[in-house]
Every structure is written in C-alpha cells, then in structure tokens.
Amino acid sequence: TGLSLSTVASADDAKQRLGGIEAGKWVLGFRAGFAPLTQQLSDNTSTSIGPLVNVQGLYSFNTWFLAGLMVEWERHGVSVERPDVDLGHQDTVSVLPTVELRPVKLGQFIPYVNMSFGVNVNSFGEDTGLRISPSNTFAWRLGWGADYRLNERFALNTEWAYKRNDGHTHTSFGRNDDWNASSFGFLFGAKMFF
C-alpha cells in the first residue's frame, strides 16, 4: 500500500510539472517595452531605440501547445548621420499568426517559446521634403519568455524576441534595396487566463 501511494503521489507531482497550461484555456496578453534594431537601417542612417506595444490572444489545445494571433507596433526615429538631419520615423505594425509551446511549469513560473509568421506593414512619417515609402515585408518572429502566475486568472509576463523585417524602400531618388528594420524586442506586461 505504501508503494502504491508513493507511486500515485509521484505521478501527480510529474503531472503538475509537465505542461505549462490547462487545455481549453484562452490567454489574452498586453505587453509594452522597447526595441532596438539589429543593425543599421540603411547606409549612413541612425535609428533610435523605439517603443514597442504587443497584444495577443492564444488558445491552449492541450497542456503544452497554444495557437492564436499576435499584433505588434513599434516606432523608430530615423536620421542621416552625415550631415546630421532628422528624416522622420518608421512605424511597423506586425500581424502575426503564432504558435507557442509551454513544456513545463516550475511552481508559479511558466517558461515558454513562441514562433510567428506574418506580415510587417511599414510606413514612414517624413520630417523633410524627402519622400520615403518602405515596403511591407514578410515577418518571422521568435520569442522566449516566462509568466509568473499571481492566481488562476492573472500573470505577470516578460518576453524577449527577434523579428525579421527586411525589405526595400522607394524615395524621391529611387529605390533603395538596403533597408532592414529587423529588431530585438524586450516586453513587460500581464496576461489573463479564462
């Protein structure tokens, strides 16, 4: 009897550790943070570290696999380095169908990894007479993060992600194929489970 009780207890303990969410749950998240570009946007330009806002809605199909949609906005100020001239700012809205894996639960901490494929809708607000029109691009995003569950419904969240945003732009002087707004995102926020 002692052996069977310890076997049941260890099986229950393993069940609690494996899988980071209950099946059939909706997860809504709102996060904000900042995003530096991974490289120079284009030759002879510099960009600011920009604000980043992210909302997501995911559904858990079992205890470790979720899928849904993520929408992300970021903005970067852009200037010419020589001579020093502010050009304006680039805005990017990314629409990202997303899958997420939550393999384990470590007490109140739930680590995860997610991947998204979608589209980056890029626009530019000019501060000069120079017209700049960046292309919309294919978006690929890879994120790592963790939730800290406060209770059954709410969690604090932090996430780090890389997002590909590599394309071209049309300007008053013609097409520029060297335009890469890929970025690293650092996000902090909260999630709700229901």
Query: How confident is the model over 4-14, as pLDDT tens digits?
Result: 555 544 545 54
What mean pLDDT, rounded, does the chain reach? 91
C-alpha closest to that of 35 among 24, 20, 51, 12? 51
Residues 6+ apart with CB under 8 A from 14: none
Specify which residues 167 forms β-bridges with.
179
Q: How far apart are CA 90 and CA 42, in angstroms?
A: 12
Please identify which residue in the block is written with the tokens 């199909």: 61
The answer to whether 45 and 78 have CB atoms below 8 angstroms apart is: yes
Specify which residues 96 forms β-bridges with.
70
What pTM was estimated for this model as a whole? Answer: 0.87
- Sequence letter at residue 26: W
The model's pLDDT over 86-140, given as tens digits with 9 standing for 90+, comes to 999 999 999 999 999 999 999 999 999 999 999 999 999 988 878 899 999 999 9
The answer to whether 193 and 154 have CB atoms below 8 angstroms apart is: yes
Please identify which residue in the block is written with the tokens 């100020």: 77
Give the H/E segment covering residue 16. Answer: helix 2-17
